[in-house]
Structures are given as structure tokens and as C-alpha cells.
Structure 1
């Protein structure tokens, strides 16, 4: 399983817009229910920093997240919304308990 974390900081006047994009992504995920994908988004206490964590069952496969029209819309203008651009890092799991389960 491949796991990634993406973190970035949004301009204060663009936070609601960013949250709306994220909600659209989750709405499309609920509707399409792609398999082998685990995804979560968080806003940190500063109200401006966002963290996204994605886990994909098949590490060599193209992520189904990238095929979503809502995700494409979300990332298309992310740089314009950011004070600090997205930074992606691969995560190596040491352990987890019920991570990415409902």
C-alpha cells in the first residue's frame, strides 16, 4: 500500500473556497466509491493549513483520485489559493489502528 501526505497553507481569504473544493471531492468519492482508495482531509488549528492523507492499495497503479473531475478542479487552481504551496511526502507506516475506516 502506498501512503502520501500533502500539506499546504491557504491564503486567509480563500479558505472557504478551498473547503468547498474539498467537499466536492468527497461528494464525488461517495457517489463513485472507487475501490482501493483511502483519503482524508484535515484543517489544522491555525485555520489556514490543510493536510491530506491518501492511501492506495495498489502502489504501482494510477490513483483513482486523480481521475475525479472534482479533484481535477480542486488542484487546477491550488497554487493561486496558497500562501505556502503543497508539499507531498511518502509515508511509511509503523503501525495503525482502524485508520481510514468508517
Structure 2
């Protein structure tokens, strides 16, 4: 299993665009219904810091996400925007959970 947490801060002007791009990624993932991807994004109380929390069955599932057209659009536009804080990516290790993940 691969668990990824990414956090970054956009400008206030870019928040609506980022939310829409994230919705497009989620909509595409829902339509595909890939069993090895759990994808969620949160907005922190400052209203412009985003935190993505993703669980993947394996590295291939992560690569599947990043190859989606909606994800490429999201990533390209985010990179071109003027971020206040660059993305910080962390790989996490599951210790315990009330939920079963991918047969773990």
C-alpha cells in the first residue's frame, strides 16, 4: 500500500480554479471506479491551503492517477499558478485503522 499526503497553499484568487480542477479529478476517478485508489482533498481553515490524502493499493495505482487527463490538467495549472507555499509531499506508513485497505 502507498499513502501520500500533499499540502500546498494557493493564492486566494486561485482557490476556485483549484477546487474545480480537483472536482474534475474526483469526477473522473468516480466514473472509472478504480478499486485501488482512495482519493480525497481538504481545504484548511485559512481557505487557501489544500491537503490531498491519497491511499493506493500499489505504485501502479498511483501512476494510474497521475496519468489521468484531469490530473495532468490539475497539476499543470497548479504548477503555473503563483503558489504561496510549494507542495510538500509525504509518504506515510499505516500503523492501524478501523478501515480495511486493499486487503491489508
Category of TM-score, reference length = shorter chain: 0.7 to 0.9
Could you say what secondary structure the match of 2:84 adopts? strand
Matching residue of 1:72 = 72
Aligned position for 2:13: 13
1:87 aligns with 2:78: no
TM-score, normalising length from structure 1? 0.88
Partner of 2:46: 46
Q: How does 1:54-65 map to 2 (within 5 A)?
A: 54-59=54-59, 61=60, 63=62, 64-65=64-65
Question: C-alpha separation between the residues in 1 aligned to 2:70 and 2:25?
Answer: 5
Consecutive unaligned residues of structure 2, counting only runs of 5 or more, are none
Q: How many residues align?
A: 99
What is the RMSD of the two structures over their aligned residues, measured on CA atoms?
1.6
